[in-house]
Structure 1
């Protein structure tokens, strides 16, 4: 029996804040906003406002997590 179901999850142990910081460095807000068209990336973007929105919006968080995983390949 597997005691750690997260072992195959590539996002395990990575905070949403760390994901956002990586993406901002890699792409910048403008590119992020064109890839995932959400207001918190396109209108006065900040880590804080993005965290607040993404924690409440599962579909947007999934898109951001996918963008992060693609950026790591």
Structure 2
């Protein structure tokens, strides 16, 4: 019998959607600020939530950088 998946109490990103993270960062830093903090084209060249989500879902290293910036930004509050 399969055991249910356990909660991840030590994972601060557990239950937070990528779109929520991106919306938070865009509101806090703006696209220009995001582009200067994380040098990826989806933040610097005609940025949008939709295009950024598409890129980040396909690019694990970039998603990791975005998640790290998010965690730093919420710790500073």
Q: TM-score, normalised by structure 1?
A: 0.93
Q: CA deviation at 1:65?
A: 0.2
How many residues are paired up?
71
Q: What residue in structure 2 maps to residue 59 of structure 1?
A: 61
Distance 1:55 1:67 in 2: 16
Structure 2: distance between partners of 1:4 and 1:27: 34
Match status 1:18 vs 2:20: yes
| Larger-Rg structure | 2
Cα RMSD of the aligned pairs, angstroms, is 1.0
Return the alpha-carbon distance in structure 2 between the equivalents of residues 35 and 26 of structure 1: 12
Aligned to 1:33: 35
Structure 1 segments of 4+ aligned residues over 3 angstroms from their partners:
none
Q: Which residue of 2 aligns with 1:47?
A: 49
Structure 2, unaligned runs of 5 or more: none
In 2, distance between residues paired with 1:71 and 1:45? 20
CA distance in 2: counterparts of 1:62 and 1:38, whole angstroms: 13
Structure showing the higher helix proportion among its residues: 1
Report SS of the residue matched to 2:46: coil
| Secondary structure of the corresponding residue to residue 7 of structure 1 | coil
State whether structure 2 residue 14 is matched by structure 1 residue 6.
no
